[in-house]
Amino acid sequence: MAAPKAKNLKAFDVLSKESQQCAACHKDINRGLFQQWGDSKHYGANVGCYECHGAKSTDPDAIKHYGFNVSVLVSPKDCAQCHEREVKEFTASHHANAGRILGSLDNMLAEVVEGKIMFNGQSPAAVSGCAQCHGSVVKVMENGDLDPATWPNSGIGRINPDGSKGACNACHQRHKFSIVQARRPEACGKCHLGPDHPQKEIYEESKHGIAFYGNVSDMNLDSSKWVVGEDYDAAPTCATCHMSATKDMPITHDIGGRISWTLRPPVSEKIDAKERGRVKSWEDRRADMKKVCVACHTSTWTNDFYKQFDAVVNLYNDKFAKPGLSLMKFLKEEKLLSETNFDERIEWTWFLLWHHEGRRSRQGAAMMAPDYVQWHGLFEVAHRFYIELIPEFEEVLHKAELKGNKKAAEKGKKLLAEILSRPEHAWFTGKEPEEVKRARLKAQQEFKQRYAQ
Ligand code: HEC
Ligand code: HEC
Ligand code: HEC
Ligand code: HEC
Ligand code: HEC
Ligand code: HEC
Ligand code: HEC
Ligand code: HEC
C-alpha cells in the first residue's frame, strides 16, 4: 500500500561513497545488472550496491572485495534495515519455513529413491529440485566461498548463514525489484505448478485468470497504491487474493493469513489459531479472504462459493482420504508392509492418490478450475481408489494369508468390508438399492435418446 517507511531515506539523498565505487566498476563488468539497478526504485532512492551487499568483517559469509567487506547473499535480514514490516510478516509465514522438509516423505524421494549419487554431500535431485523451491541450507566453505551445492539458490525458505530464513528475491527478482513483476501470477508460478500443486494452471483455467490475461492493460500493475476495487477491478491475481490490500486490509507478506484449510496433507484440516504458526482462527482467516472477494462479488455469491468448495473437500476427505489412510495405517501397524517407504506398489498408489490427485481436486475447487476438480482430480482419485488401492490391499492380505498370517488377513478383510459397506461405495459392490439402479438406468436411456435424435 504505502511506500516503505521513509525514515531511512534521509541518509540517501545521494548515493553513498561506497556504492559509487561499486557502481563505477560494475557498470562495465556486469552491464545488465547495472542497468536493472538503474531502472529500479532503489536507484531512485539512492539505495546502492553497498546498502544491500555491505557486510561486517565478522559476518559468516563476508568476503574481502577491493577494500570492502561484502557478501554476495542479500538475506531478509539485510532488507529488514529498511523493510522491517515485510520481513517480519514473511518470517512468520509458511514460506519462510519451507526449508524444513527434511524427514518428509517427499524428501526421501529426492534423497534416496531418486538420489544417492552425491554432489558435495548432497543429492543432486534435491539440489536442483526441492531446494530451488523450498530453499537450501546455504553453506560457506573454508575458503569463504559459497558451497555450489547450496547456491545459487533463491528457494522461498532458504536458510541463510546469518540465521535468517528465506529469500526475498524468490518473488522480487533482482536488481529491478519491480512491483509489476511481483504482482503478476508468474511470480508464484516457478513453484506453484505441476502435478502436486498446480495453482498456476488452475488460475489460468479459472475465469479470474482469463480476465487477467484478457485485460492485463487495465490492471494498473505499476501503480504504487494497489487496492482491489479502487485502483483496479479487471481481475484478481494470486497476490490480490493472498497478499494485497483491500479497502479495509493492508498488504500482508504472510501468505497463509487468508486461507482456512490446509489442502496439502492426505486428509485436509482447518488449522486453528496458534497451531503451526497461525495467528488467527480459521474463521477469521476465511473472513479476511472474503473481504477480497466482495470488492467484486456479493457476499451471497462469496458464501455460496465457499459452500461448494467445502463440499468438495469434505467429499474427498470422507469418501476417499480417511478410508485410504485407515487401510494404509492398518498395513503398517500389522507389519504387512516393510518399514521402508516406497518399496511397495501400494505405497506409490496411495501417494499418487493424496499427494497428486487428491490435492489437485481440492485446490481446483478452492480456485475455481472445474477441470482440476474433475478430470485431473476426483476422476483420478476414484480410479486410483477402486481400481488400484483396493485390489492392491487385497493382494497384500492374500500374501499374508499364504504366509500363514491368517489373523491379520481376516482383520484386514473386515476393515475393508466395513468401508465398502458404506452407502457411497455401494455402487462398487453391487449393493445399491434397486430403485437407485433403476433410476440411473432410466436416466441413461433418456440420455441416449437425446443424442440419437
Ligand atoms: C575495481 C572494481 C570493483 C569494485 C570497486 C567492486 N567490485 Fe565487485 N566485483 C568486481 C569483479 C571483477 C568481480 C568478479 C566478476 C566476475 O566474476 O564476473 C566482482 C564480483 C562481485 C560480486 C560477486 C562475488 C562472488 O563471489 O560471486 C559481488 C556481490 C560484488 N562484486 C559486489 C560489489 C560491491 C557491493 C562493491 C562495492 C562495495 C564492489 N563489488 C566493488 C569488481 C569490483
Ligand atoms: C536492494 C538490494 C540490492 C541492491 C541495491 C543491489 N543488489 Fe546485488 N543482489 C541483491 C540480491 C537479493 C541478490 C541475490 C543474492 C542472493 O542469492 O541472496 C544480489 C546478487 C548480486 C550479485 C551476484 C549474482 C549474480 O547474478 O552474479 C552481484 C554480483 C551483485 N548482486 C552485485 C550488485 C551490484 C554491483 C549492485 C549495485 C550496482 C547491486 N548488486 C545492488 C540485492 C541487491
Ligand atoms: C537501505 C534501504 C533499503 C534496503 C536495504 C532495501 N530497500 Fe527496498 N526500498 C527502499 C526504498 C527507500 C524504497 C522506496 C523507493 C520508492 O518508493 O521510490 C524501496 C522499495 C522497494 C520495493 C518496491 C518497489 C516498487 O516498485 O514500488 C521493493 C519490492 C523492495 N524495495 C524490495 C527490497 C528487497 C527485497 C530488499 C532486500 C533484498 C530491499 N528492498 C532492500 C529501501 C531499501
Ligand atoms: C516446483 C517447486 C517445488 C519443488 C521442486 C518441490 N516442492 Fe515441495 N512444495 C512446493 C509448494 C509450492 C508446496 C506447497 C503446495 C501447496 O500449498 O499446495 C510444497 C509443499 C511441500 C510439502 C508440504 C509442506 C506442508 O507444510 O505440508 C513438503 C513436505 C514438500 N513440499 C517437500 C518437497 C520435497 C522433499 C521435494 C523434492 C523431492 C519438493 N517438495 C519439491 C514446491 C515445490
Ligand atoms: C511470495 C512472493 C513474495 C515474497 C517472497 C516477498 N514479497 Fe514483497 N511483495 C510481493 C508482492 C506481490 C507485492 C505487491 C503487493 C501489492 O502491492 O499489492 C510485494 C510488495 C513489497 C514491497 C512494497 C511495499 C508495500 O508494502 O507496498 C516491499 C518493500 C516488499 N514487498 C519487500 C519484500 C521483502 C523485504 C521481502 C523478503 C522478506 C519480500 N518482499 C518477499 C511478493 C513477495
Ligand atoms: C480469487 C482469489 C484467488 C486467486 C486469484 C488465487 N487464489 Fe489461491 N486460494 C484462494 C482460496 C479461496 C483458497 C482456499 C482458501 C481456504 O482454504 O479457505 C486458496 C488456496 C491456495 C493455496 C493453499 C493450498 C493448500 O494446499 O493448502 C495456495 C498455495 C494458493 N492458493 C496459491 C495461489 C497461487 C499461486 C495463485 C495464482 C497462480 C492463487 N493462489 C490464486 C483464492 C485465490
Ligand atoms: C520459490 C518458490 C515459491 C514461490 C515463488 C512462491 N511460493 Fe508459495 N509456497 C512455496 C512453498 C515451498 C510452500 C509450502 C511451504 C510449507 O508449508 O512448507 C508455499 C506455500 C504457499 C501457501 C500456503 C501457505 C500456508 O500458510 O499454508 C500460499 C497461500 C502460497 N504459498 C502462495 C504464494 C503466492 C501467492 C505466491 C506468489 C505471490 C507464492 N506463493 C510464491 C513456494 C513458493
Ligand atoms: C477484481 C475482481 C474480482 C475479485 C477480487 C474476485 N473475483 Fe471472482 N470473478 C471476477 C470476474 C471478472 C469473474 C468472471 C465473471 C463472469 O463470469 O462473467 C469472476 C468469477 C468468479 C466465479 C465464477 C467462476 C465461473 O467459472 O463461473 C466465482 C465462483 C468467483 N469469481 C469467486 C470469487 C471468490 C471466492 C473470490 C474471493 C476469494 C473472488 N471471486 C474474487 C472478479 C473477481
120-179 pLDDT per residue, tens: 999 999 999 999 999 999 999 998 899 999 999 999 999 999 999 999 999 999 999 999
Instruction: Report pLDDT for 363.
Output: 98
Q: What percent of the chain has pLDDT over 90?
A: 91
What separation in angstroms does the CA of 167 have from each of 42, 145, 155, 368?
Answer: 18, 19, 6, 30
Tally Cβ neighbours within 10 Å of residue 437. Answer: 13
Centre of ligand 1 to C-alpha 25, Å, is 8
Ligand nearest to the CA of residue 226, numbered in listed order: 5
Atom 22 of ligand 3, nearest CA residue: 177
State the pLDDT at residue 7: 43
Q: Give the number of the atom of ligand 2 that is nearest the alpha carbon of residue 168.
A: 12
- Round to whole Å and give the CA distance between 37 and 101: 34
Q: pLDDT band for 451, please (50, 70, 90 cuts).
A: confident
- Residue 10 above 80 pLDDT? no
CB neighbours of 128 closer than 8 A, spacing ≥ 6? none
Give Cβ neighbours of residue 213 (< 8 Å, ≥ 6 apart).
204
Q: Which ligand is nearest to the CA of 342?
A: 4
- Kindly give the number of the ligand 7 atom that is closest to the alpha carbon of 256: 26
* CB contact at 8 A, 69 and 63: yes
Q: How far, in Å, CA of 202 to CA of 196, rounded?
A: 12
Residue-level pLDDT at 183? 98
Mean pLDDT of the chain: 94
Nearest CA to ligand 4 atom 2: 191
Which ligand approaches the C-alpha of residue 13 most closely?
3
**216 alpha carbon – ligand 7 mean position (Å):** 23
CA-nearest residue for atom 1, ligand 5, is 171
Ligand 8 midpoint to CA 297 (Å)? 7
Q: Kindly tell me if the per-residue pLDDT of 56 is higher than 60.
A: yes
Does residue 110 have its Cβ closer than 6 Å to ligand 4? yes
Closest ligand 1 atom, residue 68 Cα: 38
- At residue 12, the pLDDT reads 62
Q: Which of 7, 89, 168, 177 to mutate to test the pocket of ligand 3 (most atoms within 8 A of CB)?
A: 177
* Residue of 205, 228, 241, 356 with the most ligand 6 atoms within 8 Å of its CB, for mutation: 241
Q: Residue with the nearest Cα to atom 27 of ligand 4?
A: 264
What pLDDT is recorded for position 450?
86
Question: pLDDT per residue over 273-322, tens digit each?
Answer: 777 777 899 999 999 999 999 999 999 999 999 999 999 999 999 999 99
The pocket around ligand 3, CB under 6 angstroms, is made up of 3-4, 8-9, 41-42, 44-45, 47, 51-52, 74, 78-79, 81-83, 168, 172, 177-179, 224
Kindly list the distances between the CA atom of residue 126 and the CA atoms of 1, 56, 131, 150, 335, in Å, as whole numbers in the listed order. 37, 31, 6, 10, 30
Q: What is the residue whose three cell numbers read 517480519?
A: 88
Cβ(327)–Cβ(415) below 8 Å: yes
Residue 221 has what pLDDT? Answer: 98
| CA-closest candidate to residue 176, choices 47, 70, 1 | 47
Residue range 363-404, pLDDT digits in tens: 999 999 999 999 999 999 999 999 999 999 999 999 999 999
Specify the pLDDT at position 48: 96
**Ligand 2, atom 18: nearest CA belongs to which residue?**
73
Mean pLDDT of 28-40: 96
Binding site membership of 203 for ligand 6 (Cβ less than 6 Å)? yes
Whole-angstrom distance, CA of residue 388 vs CA of residue 328? 13
* Contact present, 165 and 138 (Cβ < 8 Å): no
Ligand 4 atom nearest residue 263's Cα: 18
Ligand 4 within 6 A of 107 CB?
yes
Find out whether 21 and 56 touch, Cβ atoms under 8 Å.
no
